[in-house]
Amino acid sequence: MALAGVALAGAALAGNPQFQGADPHAMFIGKDLWVFPTGGPGGSWRADRFGAFSSPDLKSWKSRGELIRRDQISWIKDDGAPEHFLWAPGVATRGGKWYLYFSVGPQIPTPSRIGVAVADRPQGPYRDSGRPLVTGKLVKDGHGFEAIDPMAFVDPNSGKAYLYAGGSAGSTLRVWELAPDMVTVTREVKIDQPPHFTEGAFMHERGGTYYLSYSHGKWNGASYSVHYATAPSPTGPWTYRGVILSGDARHQGPGHHSFVRTPSGEWLIVYHRWERTPGPEPFRGERQIAIDRVRYAADGRILPIRMTDGAAAPTLPLR
């Protein structure tokens, strides 16, 4: 069943959790918040397609349909692996086009890969570029690179575009500069590894400061959390700032997030979490998308983020 046909469970109820899903890349398109997740409402993660969901108020959500399916990616079987999965989408726009970056696994027995597809509108349909953008290297004895969790960032100050990716096996972050066509890598930018990096990198800029945030820990365990560092440029050097989002008595494993600026200039974080108390790992079931406020100190630091439930979650316009 295509995601376009899914009725969002609890769509009439404002609050956290918003809906089932993981790895949300979020952005405002006009006055609506769009979320591009792994999986989504309506059942367990199928890992063979991507969908998108939007809301004008964070009270009700609309499915925007199917973006791309696994069988529309021409190169996906070139590695000879017996099965493939799609996860962790990242979306960017430039020059009137929309770009969907995505992870293709498994990492074993063949290296994971990152692909990119192009569309004329955010809901697609997206057209596969015809080749992997980045291919990983199998990790052995802690060395290698897992090509997952892509995030494309167009620097508002320089106009340059960057691709951030990597994590889990090897826990290595890599950064590339993208050509203006957004589907070609021009060069890799050498960076220092940020402390406690595991996966799910995200970059945003505020007031001339660049914020690199990322997930740390085991994706299905209590250690999963969001850390961040700041820099004077999109590629560092990083100043580690600490943990801003971690589990509490009612929620576990928050992470793989996006920062988004509302049309009125305030900031939100969109992330996934497990709706459960601390307990035995690995956690099982489905992760849920949640949205909470982000507040900055006068010196630009991000203040610790408090997870909310139900009507305590933000709505638009922010109250």
Q: Annotated catalytic sites, by residue?
A: 23, 199
Q: How far apart are CA 165 and CA 172, in angstroms?
A: 8
- Nearest CA-CA partner of 215 in 22, 61, 39, 85: 22
Q: How far apart are CA 3 and CA 21, in angstroms?
A: 12
Q: What are phi and psi of 70, to 5 degrees?
A: -55, -40
Is 182:152 a contact under the CB 8 Å cutoff? yes
- Classify strands 137-140 and 143-145 as parallel, antiparallel or unpaired: antiparallel
Q: What are phi and psi of 4, to 5 degrees?
A: -60, -25
Is 195:212 a contact under the CB 8 Å cutoff? no
- Nearest CA-CA partner of 234 in 213, 216, 217, 257: 213
CA angle, residues 257, 258, 260, in degrees to nearest 5 = 150
CA angle, residues 97, 100, 102, in degrees to nearest 5 = 165
Report the greatest alpha carbon distance in the chain.
53
Q: Which residues contact 199 (CB under 8 A, 6 or more apart)?
A: 148, 149, 166, 167, 168, 171, 214, 215, 219, 256
